[in-house]
Amino acid sequence: MSEWTAEDGPVLRIEGLSVRFYVRKSFFSERPIAAVTDVSLDLAMGETVAVVGESGSGKTTLGRATLRLVDASDGQVVFEGEDIAGLEGAAMLSFRRRAQAIFQDPFSSLSPYMRVGDLVAEPLVIHGPSDRSEQEAAVIEALEQVKLSPAAEFADKYPHTLSGGQRQRVSIARAMVLEPDYLVADEPVSMIDASSRAEILYLLKELQAQRDLTFLYITHDLASARHFADRIAVMYAGRIVELAPAEALIEDARHPYTQALLAAVPEADPQNRLRQRPVVGGEPPDAGDLPTGCAFAPRCPAAIAGTCEREIPPLVELDGGHEVACHLYPAASASGVSSATSPSSDAADSTSSAARMKGSSDSG
């Protein structure tokens, strides 16, 4: 672990980050794909920020960019005071040690030809220590931390002999063996059975408390984000459209897209099979051909004609750390201050439409 402290500032600072990929359009031209656009976000030491959204919204690309697994097209990612784009040699090696990832699929992220002990020890081969006995001791300690015991027995097994939950624990042990400061957890529980999901999340929380870890938690599951994260960032078409403390976002979602995501969460009520739940129509836009203005406008039940389809709303703070990018809050959009906490009268009809959608979900 590094000597960075909470007094030194955010562990990770993302400033105006954009990531574009290019696909061939013809023999002589390429077409840009906007995976992430103008994202700014700070993560404090020991904080968990969940990033939620539909498939293709840019969540994983954002996480990979913070690890420099993909290069930024614009903007910067500052990790413990250093712009990671300029890291080379020993500085880059140090960054790799301090920033790790837990990938979504433990069935493909673990080599079936290596024993568990060798899989967990692999980062130590690169970063040290070089002494084999010290590596073995670190592996046993990491396996014990993730509740795989007796650790010596698990170290001698192959991944195919383990359950899905046990494989993901091995993935966590491999990430934790280097004692990192920052972890990107990309859908860490989506590929394992429901009975193991809570156990994995509680394990991550326990490890975070022990080591003051900073998490970027990527997920589709708003329920797990509510309980695991301190703040939730909602992404749509590569942009953050709402950012707030977890409980505040779930209880008082402002953006129509966030309200639609909450409306789609199933509830344990047998009567729901007799009711038609409100859903937002249409499909997410093509990242290579985004609409002008707000990307959600073509699907939005509260869109303001003549505004939403023309102008991209900025992400502005409304109150209590609650930020939203939506033209339903024009005063806040114009000033960028926390004076407007509710939609203007010009947008009242549009807002009530979104509220009705959320309200019918709550009752159904």
Domains of the chain: 7-236 (3.40.50.300), 254-363 (no CATH)
In degrees, to the nearest 5, what angle opens at C-alpha 214 toward C-alphas 210 and 217?
A: 115
CA 109 to chain centre: 19
Radius of gyration of the chain (CA): 22
Which of 120-124, 259-263, 343-347 shows the lowest mean pLDDT across its residues?
A: 343-347
Please check the confidence at residue 6 and state whether its pLDDT lies above 70.
Answer: yes
CB 242 within 8 A of CB 317: no
Q: Select from 187, 320, 186 the least CA-distant residue to 245.
A: 320
Q: At 2, phi and psi to the nearest 5?
A: -85, 180
CB 51 within 8 A of CB 217: yes
Q: Which residues pair with 48 in a beta bridge?
A: 215
Q: How many of the other CB atoms lie within 10 Å of CB of 181?
A: 22
Q: Which residues pair with 243 in a beta bridge?
A: 233, 323
Q: How many of the other CB atoms lie within 10 Å of CB of 38?
A: 17
Please check the confidence at residue 313 and state whether its pLDDT lies above 70.
Answer: yes
Task: Quick: pLDDT tens for 186-211.
Answer: 999 888 887 788 889 999 999 999 99
More confident residue, 272 or 209: 209
Please tell me the chain's helix, strand, coil percentages from 3-state DSSP, rounded to the nearest 5.
Answer: 40, 20, 40
Give the model's confidence band at 1: pLDDT under 50 very low, under 70 low, under 90 confident, else very high.
Answer: low
